[in-house]
């Protein structure tokens, strides 16, 4: 206690004034009371420990306490949130600005120049994936390009099943062909017509105007020097009676519109007053034939439509809704891995979508489907399935134009599924004719991904061919003038050598090779499956996160910024307000 008192006396040896005196008095009072309490409660504490406890009241501590600025509360979280908001705000502004600028460029394209009439005429048939990929990358300044197609737009077919239920409007996945061609360097001619015959001997194409409004000339001929055929394929019915008359297909925009109308017809008729229960069950039974991506995605979209919209608007009959998927093979999605096939089938079971595999349709009437089922023991039985809507989403057939061309070419006699092409996509047995997409047989599956890569390959091929001709002409001109100017002989020879080297590099074009990027499919309930190529293998995934990847992948693959914006807005609109259930 004595040592403590001496320590306190030393602290107060020098006189203090002003605020320091007040703080010091408070410190002495605090130290004294603390010393008294410590002595009473813990007599065993030593004087050194008490002095140590009283150190905060030294003169230096008092002065530091008096002079130190008040401490501020940490604002790291508030600062982080502020910067995150600024980044989001700036990103939104940048995105809006990019969309506006892209729209401005679409509305104000650069002036085009007329192509040289002395150059070769390149005719492109069709406006599908292969043809549009070719036109997108082709330098039209090298040729007189003519495009012929019965439809004046490009259709983003992977999102076509979403149009059938109103999740996406059909205009959102269409891109006008003239809009595409308007942004090329040289002007391109477009004729909305159907090619009815290709005369390989005369190198002309007969075209027919099949629009509802007829003019004075409905049929004419278009000459060509080079021809690219990308007319695709038509729906295959395999000769089954009643399919074409009673089924809805899913290949074009008009097909999606017809399906949408038929769905609402079935719903409204089933809700009609005093309708028999057996008839309600038939009308609300939707049958899908084909277990590929198109059939699977349509079945999933259909189930979502009833669970999320019809169930709320017409609850009296919604519980009777049923979807059946028929597939002739042992399982659905044969191009996917076994893991994803099992996941899809289990998901469909949870969504009450019945899958009938090893089932072949034999006959279709206006109300029933007759099919032959192969059981696990190998025995076959016939079943009859009543339906309100039947969607046929399986198989491709050769178009009449392609059949006629194959009949003209002896080398095509053995081909059955389309035009047989070589490794450079040249039609075998023909001269100056190439084929891409579903009308060509190149050893790959008839998918949009294959057609798009084939079209891009042909664009590179034609661009290189044009450069090759220009360089060869340059070499001929330099060689002809080599002896006319003796003073420049060495310089001209060096230029010829460099040009020939460049020519060899351009001529070294590798054959077409398809690079599989993966497969995607939506399976309903905001779930999707993806089998994506990664490094030297594949990555298989399924679920809700894959569904987000499916949406982002399809959004990025849309042809233009306009399509991406429209599709995104349609998704938001359907999520907030629900799908449109109007009949038209």
Q: pLDDT digit string (tens) for 336-361?
A: 999 999 999 999 999 999 999 999 99
pLDDT exceeds cutoff 70 at 4: no
Q: Which of 81-95, 244-258, 368-382 has the lowest mean pLDDT?
A: 81-95
Render pLDDT for 281-312 as a digit per residue (tens, 0 to 9).
999 999 999 999 999 999 999 999 999 999 99
In this structure, the answer to whether residues 457 and 374 fall within a common structural domain is no
pLDDT in tens, 109-134: 778 888 888 899 999 999 999 999 99
Q: Who has greater pLDDT, 422 or 487?
A: 422
Query: What value does the mean pLDDT of the chain take?
Result: 85
Say yes or no to pLDDT of 503 above 80. no
pLDDT at 102: 77
Name every residue whose Cβ is closer than 8 Å to that of residue 233 and which is 6 or more positions away in sequence. Answer: 396, 397, 398, 399, 418, 438, 439, 446
Query: Within a domain: residue 503?
Result: no
Domain shared by 195 and 272, yes or no:
no
Mean pLDDT across 239-262: 95
Spatial contact of 526 and 307, defined as CB atoms under 8 Å apart: no
Same domain for 182 and 42?
A: no
d(CA 441, CA 537): 26
Does one domain contain both 407 and 374?
no
Tokens representing residue 184 in the block: 């090329």
Q: Looking at residue 582, what is its pLDDT?
A: 84
**373 in the same domain as 324:** yes
Q: Which residues contact 140 (CB under 8 A, 6 or more apart)?
A: 115, 184, 185, 186, 187, 188
Same domain for 425 and 367:
no
pLDDT value of residue 8: 43
Map residue 190 onto helix, strand or coil.
strand
Q: Which of residues 415, 431, 461 is at a domain's end?
A: 461
Q: Are strands 248-249 and 389-392 parallel, antiparallel or unpaired?
A: parallel
- Taking the C-alpha atoms of residue 114 and residue 267, their distance in angstroms, rounded to an integer, is 54
- 268 and 380: one domain? yes
Regarding whether 300 and 252 lie in a shared domain, the answer is yes
Query: Distance between alpha carbon 270 and the CA centroid of its chain, in Å?
Result: 36
Q: What is the DSSP letter of 12?
A: T
Residue 480 lies inside a defined structural domain of this protein: no
Listed residues 418, 438, 461: the one ending a domain: 461
CA distance 386 to 15: 108
**Are 281 and 411 contained in the same domain?**
no
- pLDDT confidence of residue 580: 85
Q: Which of 557, 452, 559 is nearest to 515 (CA)?
A: 452
**Does residue 86 belong to any structural domain of this protein?**
no
Percent of all residues in the chain with a pLDDT value above 90, rounded to a whole number: 65
* Confidence (pLDDT) at 19: 45
Q: Which of 258, 277, 286 lies closest to 352, judged by CA?
A: 286
Q: Is the pTM of this model over 0.85?
A: no
HEC profile of 345-378: HHHHHHCCEEEECCEEEEEECCCEEEEEEECCCC
From 67, 92, 124, give the residue that closes a domain: 67
Confidence check: pLDDT of 163 > 60: yes
DSSP, res 444: S
Under 8 Å between Cβ of 429 and 412: yes
Residues 348 and 431 in one domain: no
Is the Cβ–Cβ distance between 352 and 361 less than 8 Å?
Answer: no
Percent of the chain residues past pLDDT 70, beyond the cut: 80
> Residue 501: inside a domain, yes or no?
no
Give the tokens for residue 486. Answer: 């003796």
Between CA 294 and CA 504 the distance in angstroms is 45
320 in a structural domain: yes
According to the model, what pLDDT value does residue 498 have? 66
454-477: average pLDDT: 83
Predicted confidence (pLDDT) at residue 50 exceeds the cutoff of 50? no
Give yes or no for residue 239 having a pLDDT over 80.
yes
Number of domains present in the structure of the chain: 3
Is residue 102 one of the residues assigned to a domain? no
- Any idea what the Cα angle at residue 472 is, between residues 470 and 476, rounded to 5°? 115
Distance separating the N- and C-terminal Cα atoms of the chain: 99
User: Alpha-carbon distance 125 to 146, whole Å?
Assistant: 9
CATH number at residue 529: 3.50.50.100
Please check whether residue 505 lies inside any domain of the structure: no
Residue 133: domain span: 109-233+398-461
- Give pLDDT, residue 448: 94
The reply to whether 131 and 221 lie within a common domain is: yes
pLDDT in tens, 94-114: 888 888 877 877 777 778 888
Check residue 484 and give its pLDDT: 52
Residues 282 and 382 in one domain: yes
Residue whose structure tokens are 């390009």: 145
Residue 472 in domain: no
**Residue of 227, 233, 232, 231 whose CA lies nearest to 430:** 227
């Amino acid at each position: 206690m004595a040592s403590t008192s001496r320590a306190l006396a030393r602290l107060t040896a020098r006189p203090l004034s002003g605020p320091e005196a007040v703080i010091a008095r408070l410190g002495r009072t605090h130290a004294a009371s603390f010393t008294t309490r410590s002595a009473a409660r813990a007599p065993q504490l030593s004087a050194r420990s008490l002095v140590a406890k009283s150190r905060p009241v030294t003169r230096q501590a008092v002065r530091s306490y008096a002079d130190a600025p008040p401490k501020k509360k940490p604002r790291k979280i508030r600062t982080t949130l502020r910067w995150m908001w600024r980044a989001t705000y700036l990103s939104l502004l940048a995105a809006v600005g990019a969309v506006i600028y892209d729209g401005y460029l679409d509305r104000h394209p650069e002036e085009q120049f007329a192509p040289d009439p002395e150059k070769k005429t390149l005719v492109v048939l069709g406006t599908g994936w292969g043809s549009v990929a070719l036109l997108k990358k082709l330098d039209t300044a090298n040729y007189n390009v003519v495009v012929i197609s019965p439809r004046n737009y490009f259709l983003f077919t992977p999102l076509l099943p979403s149009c059938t239920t109103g999740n996406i409007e059909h205009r959102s996945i269409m891109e006008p062909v003239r809009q595409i061609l308007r942004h090329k360097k040289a002007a391109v001619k477009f004729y909305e017509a159907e090619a009815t015959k290709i005369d390989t001997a005369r190198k002309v194409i007969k075209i027919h105007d099949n629009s509802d409004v007829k003019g004075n000339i409905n049929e004419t001929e278009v000459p060509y020097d080079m021809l690219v055929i990308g007319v695709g394929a038509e729906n295959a019915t395999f000769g089954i009676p009643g399919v074409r008359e009673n089924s809805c297909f899913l290949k074009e925009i008009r097909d999606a519109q017809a399906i949408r109308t038929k769905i609402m017809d079935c719903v409204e008729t089933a809700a009609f007053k005093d309708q028999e229960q057996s008839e309600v069950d038939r009308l609300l039974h939707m049958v899908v034939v084909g277990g590929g991506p198109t059939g699977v995605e349509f079945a999933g979209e259909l189930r979502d439509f009833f669970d999320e919209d019809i169930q709320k608007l017409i609850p009296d009959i919604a519980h009777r809704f049923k979807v059946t998927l028929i597939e002739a093979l042992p399982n659905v999605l044969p191009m996917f891995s076994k893991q994803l096939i099992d996941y899809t089938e289990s998901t469909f079971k949870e969504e009450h979508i019945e899958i009938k595999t090893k089932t072949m349709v034999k006959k279709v009437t206006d109300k029933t489907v007759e099919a032959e089922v192969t059981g696990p023991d190998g025995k076959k039985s016939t079943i009859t399935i009543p339906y309100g809507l039947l969607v046929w989403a399986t198989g491709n057939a050769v178009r009449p134009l392609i059949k006629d061309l194959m009949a003209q070419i002896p080398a095509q006699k053995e081909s059955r599924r389309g035009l047989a092409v070589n490794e450079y996509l040249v039609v075998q047995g023909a001269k100056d004719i190439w084929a891409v997409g579903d009308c060509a047989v190149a050893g790959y599956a008839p998918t949009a991904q294959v057609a798009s890569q084939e079209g891009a390959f042909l664009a590179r091929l034609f661009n290189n061919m044009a450069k090759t001709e220009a360089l060869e002409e340059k070499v001929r001109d330099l060689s002809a003038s080599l002896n006319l100017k003796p003073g420049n002989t060495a310089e001209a020879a060096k230029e010829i050598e460099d040009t020939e080297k460049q020519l060899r590099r351009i001529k070294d074009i590798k054959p077409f090779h398809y690079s599989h990027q993966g497969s995607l499919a939506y399976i309903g309930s905001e779930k999707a499956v993806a089998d994506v190529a990664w490094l030297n293998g594949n990555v298989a995934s399924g679920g809700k996160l894959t569904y987000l990847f499916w949406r982002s992948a399809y959004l990025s693959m849309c042809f233009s910024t306009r399509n991406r914006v429209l599709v995104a807005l349609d998704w938001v609109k359907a999520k907030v307000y629900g799908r449109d259930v109007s009949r038209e």
